[in-house]
Structure 1
Amino acid sequence: MKRTPGPVDGPSEEPVADPNSAGRRAAAEPVEPPPRETEAERRRRRAVFLRELAEARELRARVQPRKTKERRMREALRMRTFRI
């Protein structure tokens, strides 16, 4: 038995807005630059990022201790190689 596509199965006949048309209209209007973030906000975001990065490294060290040990050994070797 063959089914014919109905309104539910067939392609939508609703008009779709061109995604580029909105960009062209917005480009014609004067756009204010976003406000610059303050130094304190930048430092706060950086502190959060570094805290999360350290947490991720600790988690990796806990989950994969063998790889972490190998990584530490390679890093120590690199440090010894370039020491004067």
Structure 2
Amino acid sequence: MNMEAKIRAALVAAFEATALEVINESHQHSGHAGDDGSGESHFRVRMTAAGFDAMSRVARHRAVHAALGPLNEQIHALALELS
């Protein structure tokens, strides 16, 4: 399973998302710091979930990072767009 699929699976398991996009942006960072050459180091997540309504922006980000658990160590950059 590639990293994009792992991220998606972790988020689907943790949240009742009404919309979820996991976008691999690694190609945009080729040769930059943090590029490990795997093509799976930089991601953007766009997610809407009802549970986010009562959370602050920081709480939403913390919840996503908690859901990803050990995957966080394998991702160099993660842009989050959460609503």
Q: Quickly name the TM-score band, shorter chain normalised.
A: under 0.3
Structure with the bigger percentage of strand = 2
Higher relative contact order (CA 8 A, sep 6+): 2
Larger Rg over CA atoms: 1
* TM-score between both structures, scaled by the size of structure 2: 0.22
* TM-score between both structures, scaled by the size of structure 1: 0.21
